[in-house]
Amino acid sequence: MPGGKKKRIPDMRISFSLKVAIAIAFVSLAASTSAMGYYYLQLKDKVWSEMSRRLRDIGKTGQALFTEEQRQAMVALSREMQESQEGVTDEFLASIPEDEFQEAIPRKKSLEMEQSREFQMLAQSLRLIKAGTFSDPVYPEKLDQQLNRPDQSTTLKYTYLLAPIDESPDFEIVRFLGDADYEEIDMNGNGEIDDDEVGVPAGLLYNISEQPRMREAFRTGKVTNTDEAFADAWGVWYSAMVPIKDKDGKVIAVLGLDMDVDSDLNLLDWFFWVAVTSLIVIFFVTLAAAYLIARYLATPIEKLRKAAEQVQDRDFNTRVEVNSGDELGLLADAFNDMVREIRIYSDQLEDMVADRTARLEDTLKQVQQLKRQQDGDYYLSTLLTNPLFKNRNNSARISTEFLLRQKKQFSFRRWRAELGGDLCISGNVKFNGSRWVMFFNGDAMGKSMQGAGGALVMGSLINSIMVRSSANDRDLRIAPEQWMRETHAEIQRIFETFDGSMYVSGALGIIEEGSGRMYYLNAEHPHTVLYRNSHAAFLEEEISTRKFGMPDVGDPQIFEYQLEPGDVLIVGSDGRDDLEISSNTEGRIINQNEELFLNVCESTGGKLQGMVEKLQEIGGITDDLSLIRVEFAPVTAALEEGPAIKQLLQRKEFSRALEALEEKPGPDSTIDLYHKGLCLWKLNRSQEALDYLYAAEDELANHTAMLRLLARVYLDLGDSVQARIHAERALDLDPQDERAQRIIARIDQQFPVSG
């Protein structure tokens, strides 16, 4: 909606007042919870401490009431139970689950024991101890089990006597010697025997292996109590254990006292829920109060919000009226001043934008003009260097292939080109009647123009030496090794004149066509790779020759090596190693493994195009990349394959030539790809021809024949733009190329440019 107000989306956010209220309420809740939690923990500790003390005092008082006669009765009754038990073996004891019970005395015998004078005497004593904690006083007469009424408030729920057994010296299994509630009676009158109404037969075995405090009372003879409430078959209890000893201080039994944690003495649960209820009330009361206060305080903020929305709708006449001398009043005044400045700035903005745009356009034009001048300089440099970097080797036995990709790529008018410091050169020279193949791969130090300047000087120098050495089929009467040393000295002498401003690393070699004998030197260039029998390895172990142009170089180290038929040499610049394999927050991570290139050579079978594709799969190429592939082939292969196909092409038997090319074993060479494209174009199969020519274009990009053929194929396919580009590139390489001129004339005729 240009010029109009923006459609406002309904605000579904929580208001500032409610946010403040909720925050204050939660802070209040946190403070109250912390205070009540601390008070609850202190109260809990006091309650449990007091219950523990009272329970222990009751137990100590109760055990003191047992007379000597009663203690002897305990010993006698324990002995009788020990003698009356049946089948108490280690396996039997191990079968009793933790905190569970098991009868070991026949029921008839245990009933007889329960009616004995000793048992009844102990049961009455236990009932008196329990009755002493009732809310109403009890007369010390014979008590029955009916006194355990639910309506009778009592501190103790259960009192009982436990005695050790001979079969468990570690006190994991003990025996019930007596219980105040040994009878099975329906005390609540519901007609059923509940869990807490089940009787405890005389002599019942009890597994206390998981009750360390009870075992401690047996073991140490000291009064103990549980650290916290625990559960067993009869409920959840807090218990005290009081040892009962004979005259000699030996523990003959332990008096157990159980307090129901739900008794009237336990107010912790009640207090807990009172605290929770209080916290809920405090939270909502605080929330309501804080919300009302926040609403009152947020009124100026709400005015500012509405005014900001009006400014957003480009209403710059908005003002906020806040009659307050505090920070909110100062904020409102600052807002009004800001809106006034925006109104003034908005009125002047259009003129400012137009003025700034005009300035930017002028600056951009200047930058573009400088860029065109720079690209022109770049293009001029490529016109100077491209004719120097030629594969002029015409040997039938030793083949040389180039791949040259400079890092700096640019466009100048309708041409696209690249510029850098790498160079590749090859040629032929004759020593004492023997034909040799020369190859050179170099890398001039510096970026873009600086590197290109070094490459231009080196290219001119190498070509000058080769012209002087091989013009008119000259036969040099010096040793090949001597020629290498003189060539190195001449190059070094020229580059020393630049006083350290221009260095070039490089590998220079010559190979005898007949024997495969090779001399070469490496001036701080990446190691030369020998690819033999599908295995790649470096030729040099150490390199002592320094870069061309460095001071005090001295005599070069000349290597001699014997090539075998089928051997392939790969010479390349450091662009093959300087791969960006990954990146992180600290920057790029560049490959440091020089042997990575050996794996690339082996995995691609020593083919240049395959190497480039493999390197690009591994990482990004960060520098100029140049590679020379030199293959020493058997004489028979050169004589049998090359001339046969060449003769077929010369006789214009393109079908037979195509068949011969397709029957050749092994992968296609760059020349094979070119010849296949030529045959297919001659057979009016231009689309198929384009596929082969495209695969060979990178390595033959500086060959006019290749560029002319591509121009013709694109023209047949109706792509006049690509046809013109390739024809003009051929003219750039050779301005006197009449065939390229005829192709451009044909393009102009078939695709005239409209006026």
| 2 in any annotated domain | no
| 312 in any annotated domain | no
| 117 in any annotated domain | yes
Three-state DSSP at 418 gives: strand
The residue range of the domain holding 571 is: 389-633
Q: What are phi and psi of 395, to 5 degrees?
A: -70, 140
Q: What rounded mean pLDDT belongs to the chain?
A: 82
pLDDT at 639 over 50: no
Question: In this structure, are 74 and 161 located in the same domain?
Answer: yes
CATH of the domain at 110: 3.30.450.20
pLDDT at 518 over 90: yes
For residue 420, what are its two tokens? 């850098």
Question: In this structure, are 488 and 436 located in the same domain?
Answer: yes
For strands 422-431 and 475-476, give the pairing.
parallel
Q: What is the pLDDT of residues 98-112, one digit of tens each?
A: 888 899 899 888 888
pLDDT at 651 over 80: yes
Section 15-22 average pLDDT: 74
Domain stops at, among 633, 657, 673: 633
Calpha distance 531→631 (Å, rounded): 9
pLDDT of residue 1: 44
Question: In this structure, are 617 and 664 located in the same domain?
Answer: no
pLDDT of residue 678: 92
pLDDT of residue 697: 77
Question: In this structure, are 619 and 511 located in the same domain?
Answer: yes
Q: What is the pLDDT of residues 339-398, one digit of tens each?
A: 777 777 777 776 777 777 777 777 676 666 655 655 555 555 555 556 777 888 988 789
| Reported confidence tier of residue 187, pLDDT bands at 50, 70, 90 | low
pLDDT of residue 395: 84
pLDDT of residue 634: 46
For residue 156, what are its two tokens? 């103790």
pLDDT of residue 107: 87
Helix ranges (H only) for 221-326 are 268-297, 299-312
| 337 in any annotated domain | no
Domain stops at, among 633, 659, 694: 633
For residue 8, what are its two tokens? 């406002």
For residue 259, what are its two tokens? 């307090």
| Reported confidence tier of residue 637, pLDDT bands at 50, 70, 90 | very low
Question: In this structure, are 462 and 581 located in the same domain?
Answer: yes
pLDDT at 259 over 80: yes
Question: In this structure, are 559 and 608 located in the same domain?
Answer: yes
Q: Which of 387, 471, 481 is nearest to 429 (CA)?
A: 471
CATH of the domain at 462: 3.60.40.10
The dihedral of CA 371, 374, 378, 384: what is its sign? positive
Least confident of 202-206, 277-281, 324-328, 599-603: 324-328
| 304 in any annotated domain | no
Question: In this structure, are 612 and 694 located in the same domain?
Answer: no
| 170 in any annotated domain | yes
Calpha distance 41→32 (Å, rounded): 14
Higher pLDDT, 466 or 48: 466
The DSSP symbol for 154 reads B
Q: Which percentage of the chain shows pLDDT scores above 70?
A: 82
Q: Which of 142, 114, 112, 118 is nearest to 69 (CA)?
A: 118
Q: What are phi and psi of 126, to 5 degrees?
A: -65, -40
Question: In this structure, are 574 and 471 located in the same domain?
Answer: yes
pLDDT of residue 480: 92
pLDDT at 643 over 90: no
- Tell me the β-bridge partners of 412: 415
pLDDT at 251 over 60: yes
Angle separating helix axes 670-682 and 704-716, nearest 10 degrees: 40
**Which range is most confident: 26-35, 80-89, 230-239?**
80-89
Question: In this structure, are 655 and 548 located in the same domain?
Answer: no
pLDDT of residue 197: 66
Rounded to 5 degrees, what angle do the CA atoms 401, 404, 406 make?
Answer: 175
| Reported confidence tier of residue 452, pLDDT bands at 50, 70, 90 | confident
Q: What is the pLDDT of residues 267-322, one digit of tens each?
A: 667 777 888 888 888 888 887 887 787 777 767 777 777 777 777 777 777 777 76
For residue 6, what are its two tokens? 């923006």
Calpha distance 662→692 (Å, rounded): 12
Calpha distance 428→394 (Å, rounded): 7
- Per-residue burial over 21-40, b if 16 or more Cβ lie within 10 Å, else e, is bbebbeebbeebbeebeeeb
CATH of the domain at 721: 1.25.40.10
- Tell me the β-bridge partners of 402: 628
Question: In this structure, are 614 and 658 located in the same domain?
Answer: no
| 313 in any annotated domain | no
Question: In this structure, are 627 and 644 located in the same domain?
Answer: no
DSSP 353-371: HHHHHHHHHHHHHHHHHHH
Question: In this structure, are 546 and 588 located in the same domain?
Answer: yes
Section 716-728 average pLDDT: 91
pLDDT at 636 over 60: no
Calpha distance 259→239 (Å, rounded): 6
- CA Rg, the chain, in Å? 53
Higher pLDDT, 435 or 328: 435
Calpha distance 603→611 (Å, rounded): 8
pLDDT of residue 146: 55
DSSP 535-571: EEEES-S---BPPBT-SS--S---EEEE--TT-EEEE
Section 183-202 average pLDDT: 71
pLDDT at 10 over 60: no
Count the helix, strand and coil residues of the chain and give each as a percent rounded to the nearest 5.
Answer: 50, 20, 30
Q: Which of 160, 121, 153, 158 is nearest to 137 (CA)?
A: 153
| 657 in any annotated domain | yes
Q: What is the pLDDT of residues 204-239, one digit of tens each?
A: 999 999 889 899 999 999 999 888 777 665 567 788
Question: For the chain, what is the domain count?
Answer: 3
Calpha distance 622→607 (Å, rounded): 21
Domain stops at, among 568, 601, 633: 633
